[in-house]
Structure 1
Amino acid sequence: MEESAAPILKVRNLNKQFGGGCAKCDNPADRKLEKNYCPDCGTVYSCRNISFDLFAGEVLGIVGESGSGKSTLMRCMYFDQEATGGEAYLQPYKNGESNLFAESSQQKRYIRNHMMGKVYQNPVLGLRMGFTSIGNIAEKMIAAGNRNVGAMEARGSELLEKVHIPVHRMKEAPKNFSGGMQQRVQIAKALSNNPPILLLDEVTTGLDLSVQANVLDLIKHLQRELNISILLVSHDLGVIRMLADRTLVMLDGSIVEQGLTDQILEDPQHAYTQQLVHSLL
């Protein structure tokens, strides 16, 4: 990975709040919050001035406890929720000169279908459980404008094979599959249009340890083979250690520390990161 190259994704001052704010919390300079919550009006500041770069072929980990804002950040990036403020630039889209958050809903759909794939923590959000597995992949390809049934079947089979779904189960619905298999179908679907960026949100939570290891191995293998850039959210430092080149640590909606993953795990600077690392040891 060449550090000198321009990032494939740049995010600057991403903010997301739930609630209208009040006189006591509207001004960031003298805002008095409990964690990321205004006790006076109940507004929650889920993401506060989040800025980062993601480089081509890099895995960027985002770690933090439940409620730290990491999944909200992912939802804003994939347009599952509207960001309240901030900018994001994607190099393959309009030469990285257009703020993704300011695009029309039609353009956001285009970006989501062509430039990004997302794997959700809960497969129910990423898959149609009653469709066939191959039908789920075709759905993402159709959304990106593909109309060639033969090509979609071939691509679907190729991807399901890549993620180790047996050929004889490709026409089966994911509702019949185990959690680990459902995650693998989600990964295949997310990769269907060759997106430059993959968003992985807590993809191993709730899976048995041996299944977790298989899913992580698969992600590592695919990332190397396809040289894809990955934004990886987890509360589990073991997952981050295995996959991420660099890591951002989030707490109460803000980034409190960032750096090379090894560096953060071996020499954490922030008290919260130290606590996280010690809980892993």
Structure 2
Amino acid sequence: MHEEPILRVRNLNKRFGRGCPQCHDQTIRQLEKNYCSTCGTVYACQDVSLNLFPGEILGIVGESGSGKSTMMQCLYFDEPVTSGEAYIANRDLTGQNVFNLSQQKKRYIRNHRYGMVYQNPVNGLKMNFSSIGNIAEKLIAAGNRNVSSMEATGNKLLEQVQIPLFRSKEEPQNFSGGMQQRVQIAKALSNNPPILFLDEVTTGLDLSVQANVLDLIKEIQREWGISMIVVSHDLAVIRMLADRTMVMLNGSVIEEGLTDQILEDPQHAYTQRLVYSLL
């Protein structure tokens, strides 16, 4: 790929805890997995770097506690980073490390450049708002004030994610898990973002429902050409969706490459165990 990345992340670090002389210095740091037994600090992300290219799906795979969801929360500004840089290819943001921007500018990015679909729909939806009201909320945050245009956008998106329009005024709390995820996807797409984050979106869903949600994601990616980062502990999900894959363990990236290459010829012992457990 010779084109410029739409998102560049360099040396993202996120720790929970103050750290101590034993763990502050990376050159001498001795951790149990990603945990300092001296002071109890957890190093959730350690020097994570990535490029996301236009129209690409990047898969991030790793076991629970590997740091992949924390990384996602940092990118979406749900969590502040400890250190690191991230740059978005956008005329207004050229050369600006988005982690250092004001809260107002971060809100602008969340409302105009990013979409997010959480593992638990409760984090992405207001469960007691109507489905179309959830979409309108995101559009209003992005500056839309025209009720009829918001309604038209909401109906179009709900149709696209296969929510029957006669249920558009219903609250997501009345819906099944798979339908809640589809409403969340519609809400995330409402501001036409160039970058979409998907965090464990099929966890806890029945297999047939998982397949429907994954098909929907593929279809949206084909139709909209959105760049996506998909986090999952399930290699089958990554195999179906991702062009390239990064493998995380204990907060660090241990292997990355084209998804086919990672699945057919894994280099790291941990990735080999992951792949062989799938076969």
Partner residue of 1:137 out of 135, 138, 148: 135
Determine if the alignment matches structure 1 residue 48 to structure 2 residue 70. Answer: no
Out of 195, 207, 210, the position equivalent to 2:208 is 210
User: How high is the TM-score relative to the length of structure 1?
Assistant: 0.99
Distance 1:193 1:92 in 2: 16
State the shift of 1:232 in Å. Answer: 0.3
Partner-residue secondary structure (3-state), 1:24:
helix
Query: In structure 2, which of residues 268, 271, 274 is the aligned counterpart of residue 273 of structure 1?
Result: 271
| Structure 1 residue corresponding to 2:6, chosen from 8, 27, 31 | 8
Q: Name the SS of the counterpart of 2:22 in structure 1.
A: coil
Q: 1:253 maps to what in 2? A: 251
Unaligned runs of 5+ in 1: none
Q: Give the drift of 1:92.
A: 1.9
Q: Secondary structure at the match of 1:16?
A: strand
Q: Which structure 2 residues correspond to residues 219-238 of structure 1 after superposition, within 5 A? A: 219-238=217-236
Pairwise mapping of residues 77-92 of structure 1 onto structure 2 (< 5 A)?
77-92=75-90
For residue 144 of structure 2, the aligned residue among 143, 146, 168 is 146
Cross-structure match for 2:162: 164
- In the alignment, the residues of structure 2 paired with residue 93 and residue 43 of structure 1 have an alpha-carbon distance, to the nearest angstrom, of 38
1:115 matched to 2:113? The reply is yes
How much does 1:194 deviate? 0.3
After the TM superposition, which parts of structure 1 deviate over 6 Å for at least 4 consecutive aligned residues? Answer: none
Structure 2 counterpart of 1:38: 36
Shift of 1:95: 4.8
SS in structure 1 of the partner of residue 127 of structure 2: coil
What is the deviation of 1:96?
3.3
Displacement, 1:207? 0.2
Distance, in Å, in 1 between the alignment partners of 2:234 and 2:53 is 23
The alignment of Structure 1 onto Structure 2 pairs a total of residues equal to 279
Q: Secondary structure at the match of 2:21?
A: coil
Instruction: State the distance in 2 between where 1:142 and 1:216 align.
Output: 28
In the superposition, the TM-score normalised over structure 2's length comes to: 0.99
Task: Note the 1:94-105 alignment, pairs <5 A.
Answer: 94-105=92-103
Which of 19, 24, 42 pairs up with 1:21?
A: 19
Q: What is the alpha-carbon distance in structure 2 between the residues aligned to residue 190 and residue 100 of structure 1?
A: 20
Counterparts of 1:4 and 1:40 in 2: how far apart (Å)? 46
**2 CA distance for matches of 1:204 and 1:96?**
34
**What is the alpha-carbon distance in structure 1 between the residues aligned to residue 221 and residue 72 of structure 2?**
19
Name the SS for the 1:30 alignment partner.
Answer: coil
Distance, in Å, in 2 between the alignment partners of 1:217 and 1:164 is 12
Aligned CA-pair RMSD: 0.6
Residues 183-237 of structure 1 deviation map (CA, whole Å, 9 limit, x = unaligned)? 0000000000000000000000000000000000000000010000000000000
Match of 1:189 in 2: 187
Residues of 2 paired with 1:203 and 1:87: CA distance? Answer: 26
Structure 2: how far apart are the matches of 1:124 and 1:117? 16
Aligned residue for 1:29, secondary structure, equals coil
**Of 90-99 and 241-250, the range deviating more from structure 2:** 90-99
Aligned-partner SS, 2:193: coil
CA distance in 1 between partners of 2:86 and 2:5 (Å): 11
Shift of 1:28: 0.4
Q: Distance between the aligned counterparts of 2:47 and 2:222, measured in 1? A: 31
